[in-house]
Amino acid sequence: MTELELADRTLGFCAGAAQVNVVRERSLASRFARSVPTQATAVDDTTVEVLCLVDGHTGTASTNRVDDDALREVATRARRIAAASARTGRGEHPDLPRPGPPAGESAGPDPGAGHDRRTAELDPAEAGAALAGAFDVAGARATEAFGIWTSGEVSTAIVSTAGMRAAESVTDAHMKVIVRDATGRSGYAATTSVRGAEIDGAEIAGRAVSGLSPDEPAELASGEYDVVLGHEAVGTLLDFLGWLGFNGLAHAERRGALCDRIGRQVAAAVINLTDSPGGGDGLPRSFDAEAVGKARVVLIEDGVARSVVHDTRSAAVAGGGARSTGHALTAGGDPDGPAPTNLVLAGGRADSVEALAQPIRRGVFVTRLWYVNPVDPRHALLTGVTRDGTFLIEDGRITRPVRDVRFTDSVLRILAATDDLTRAGRLVSDAEHYGRRFAHGVVCPALRASGFRVTGSTT
Amino acid sequence: MLDLVVELASSGGEGCSYVDVRWVERTLERLTVSGGRVERVLSEQDEGIGVRVAARSGGFGFAATRDTSRAGGLAALRRATAIASSQPSAALRPLAPVVPGRGAWAGRCEIDPFAESIEARLELLLRADALLGGDPRIVRTQAESIAVRTRKAFASSEGAAFTQELTECGGGIEAHAADGDDVQIRSYPSAHGGSVAAAGYEHLLGLDLVGNARRVAEEAVALLLAPECPAGRTTLVLGDEQVALQVHESIGHALELDRIQLGEASYAGTSWVSPGDIGHLRYGSDDLRISADATLAGGLGSFGWDDEGVAGQRTMLIDSGILRAALSDRTSAASLGLTSSGGCARADGFSRQPIVRMTNVSIEPGRSGTLAELIGGVENGIYMETNRSWSIDDRRLHFQFATEVGREIRGGELGRLVKNASYAGLTPEFWGSLDGVCSASDWRVWGLLNCGKGEPGQVAHVSHGAAPARFRNVQVGVARR
């Protein structure tokens, strides 16, 4: 039975207004440390989720059993809890979305753009080959390799009594390699793609090794620095900005970082940020968790904030004619609100990271960031540390390593202080798969900004 | 289901030196109300089998399936064996010896939360939520509860065969206040989902969410008017919930033996502690005593046996400031030459394999009396409570935390409220500055539901016993705009 057939069958057991989401994950993951495989995981699981709507209240129930008894039970359970909620009074859910054109400015991805048949075969031998390639390259430089190779296929089908009907299978593959030398210095590289064939363990390890320096790391004092943020670092910051700035629910509730700032200059004129679910370098998706079609949404244009994203519920809270933009993360809309999951930051004029460093007399280059968390969401103020390659920039050149540092800075301030970016962007993803696999990433260039706030050293 | 997992584990995977099989069934209900209305009621159920094998070629393989039939289990066993064999060959990694566990274990649960009607549970939350609103500066209110029941059956090729059942329940409230571009949040009894324990509905009732709601809302609004937390070095007193998180981040994770042995370097990170430090490293002052206790009543990290079949145990990790032991599973323990595992192998549901996790890592009660008595020993300082933000580096060395509330301390007494309170430090320096921990009367167990680690990602539920504690010469006011 296909996921769509399973969704249809489940909807047949539902009474009243209902939506059924079926998600099947098949995935492989192979972890390694000290150039030795440590954990190899295969997952095959299906979630059937039913959302029922009673008097403006939702009830959501799920199961991973697919026999008729289980489907009937999950439908009954969802209806029962929605009815229980309705006994507290009228709810505010605006109703299930109905078929219609996407709210964005252009069409979503081509059907099948996010799927690769060969990747979906999930051959564990590909993991073995990728790991072996990485181990060889790391060993040749007297380093050890740490990381993960993973690939998966996720098939989603959504049907509803309001006429929504969508199905899609997507694949993703990811490998990251951290190489460490005997002193603990590390270098990092990763590749994420729809196609597993683009994952080359030796090539990734080679890039990670190239980020290693034999020099002793220097200390960097707290203060403000000109900075070149590598692709991975930029991707992490934008991922947070997606939540803090463009979440339509937080915005409507006046908790968002762009409250009262839509239509105003919030970043440098070189900043153009969109959510582009059909982007060729990204991880294309056709619809959200309410089966609302995805389309390109302009978020920041020439530094001016243009819009936030919505699911059906946040659009109703926002009012003023707001519509879902296809950014629901869960059926019925997540209580934490919607978020963009296909961010694309347009490139600039620089040919390379090295070119970005050229105008800087003394500054810092950051490969990637770690353990980032909001300090003041209203101002997109974050704190975190650098990891796996932080370097001093001296007289226009990236020269020697510095010990990892803590930063405390606002993403919006950094984007306002940005004066150039690399021409080429790439897909950045941490491939963190908590719960059901949902691959997403940010397509972004590296950038140069002033005033990066270093607030401590990690030693 | 025990019979099936025993049969699968006994069948022995082809080319395998070890097999274990876990069946896990998990039921979760999460109720959320906001702004006087029910926001979401979520009910999740899943079950499945996870099979882990050690191939004679040296690799481990793990396969998870929702198919709990005999055929499904056998297919998972074949899949686990296949992926183990597909890894680059490596030296066989031994497992520390274990006495195979047999029997049944169940956690405490006086009132079954799933037997309470959804209407009654919503009514409790709506009453609390109603008292959070009222002031026009309150822009969001929320009250939530959660109930989780996990049933497991485990068997291994070494002869282990047992079942376990754990019920978790709890909840909390929060209010967001806004004025211009200032947004403040106040939560009770703790941030990030409230207080959850290995207990029944009686735990949620005991939190008295309704009785605390009005105070929480008033404090959220008061924070809008409060001055900024001053910056500088001063004496810091932390509330017990923030001490729990401080222990979690800067001690618990740092003492996971897989991190110490670089096994988590690719994701969660490593540790500033080295394997050779165990037994003599001074981690903190003489007042620092840390235990790992999988037998703690009400602890989310309590169990009869861990997910490798090692019996739950209590271990002193740090005694009088000296590091005595680390958190280990069978693989990391064997790698260090230990004769037994620390019993800290835990997995997130059936579809993840066990990794080294905290059980209930607690700071032991001190001798400083009550919170008032602890503060009485401070001429000038700051008191902070309820976590708002947290970050620590990948070696668990440099941290920065922010709390919802700060209060100045003057002349041994609490003074005016300050907002955007934060502090930062280095782990050994910070714990070295500890000079007082409140006594058992102020010691409570705090549950955390959001501890992430591993690839694919795993979320662990852990608890920490903690009491308010005092630290001298700490950098505060570090997270300003």
Cross-chain residue pair B392–A437, CB shorter than 8 Å: no
Cross-chain residue pair B37–A374, CB shorter than 8 Å: no
- Contact criterion met (CB below 8 Å) for A393 and A364: yes
Cross-chain residue pair B80–A42, CB shorter than 8 Å: yes
Identify all chain B residues contacting A374, using CB atoms and an 8 Å cutoff: 389
Cross-chain residue pair A44–B65, CB shorter than 8 Å: yes
* d(CA B368, nearest CA chain A) in Å: 31
Which residues of B, range 196-255, sit inside 8 Å of A by Cβ? none
Check residue B481 and give its pLDDT: 64
- The mean pLDDT value for B112-125 works out to 97
pLDDT tens per residue across span B44-88: 999 999 999 998 877 899 999 999 999 999 999 999 999 998 888
Cross-chain residue pair B183–A387, CB shorter than 8 Å: no
- The mean pLDDT value for B333-344 works out to 96
Is B39 in the A-facing interface, judged by CB distances under 8 Å? yes
* d(CA A106, nearest CA chain B) in Å: 32
- What distance in Å separates the CA atoms of residue B305 and residue A103, rounded to the nearest whole number? 52
Nearest CA in chain A to B90: A36
* d(CA B395, nearest CA chain A) in Å: 9
* d(CA A370, nearest CA chain B) in Å: 7
Radius of gyration, alpha carbons of chain A: 23
Identify all chain B residues contacting A59, using CB atoms and an 8 Å cutoff: 41, 43
Identify all chain A residues contacting B424, using CB atoms and an 8 Å cutoff: 406, 455-456
* d(CA A124, nearest CA chain B) in Å: 6
Q: Please state whether the predicted TM-score (pTM) of the whole model is above 0.90.
A: yes
Cross-chain residue pair A127–B397, CB shorter than 8 Å: no
Cross-chain residue pair A64–B181, CB shorter than 8 Å: no
Nearest CA in chain B to A175: B266
Rounded alpha-carbon distances, angstroms, from residue A226 to A172, A240, A414, A450: 35, 21, 10, 4
- The mean pLDDT value for B204-209 works out to 98
Nearest CA in chain A to B267: A147
Lowest mean pLDDT among A28-37, A140-149, A429-438, B452-461: A429-438
pLDDT tens per residue across span A198-235: 999 999 999 999 989 888 999 999 999 999 999 999 99
Is B347 in the A-facing interface, judged by CB distances under 8 Å? no
Nearest CA in chain B to A78: B43
CB pairs below 8 Å between A and B: how many? 259
Select from A175, A190, A237 the least CA-distant residue to A370: A237
Question: Which of A125, A146, A404 is closest, CB to CB, to B86?
Answer: A125
What is the ipTM, given to two decimal places? Answer: 0.93
Identify all chain A residues contacting B61, using CB atoms and an 8 Å cutoff: 40, 42
pLDDT band at A458 (very low <50, low <70, confident <90, very high): confident
pLDDT tens per residue across span A77-124: 999 999 999 999 999 899 999 998 777 666 667 778 899 999 999 999
- The mean pLDDT value for B382-389 works out to 96
Cross-chain residue pair A60–B181, CB shorter than 8 Å: no
Cross-chain residue pair A378–B181, CB shorter than 8 Å: yes
Lowest mean pLDDT among A249-253, A415-419, B215-219: A249-253
Identify all chain B residues contacting A151, using CB atoms and an 8 Å cutoff: none
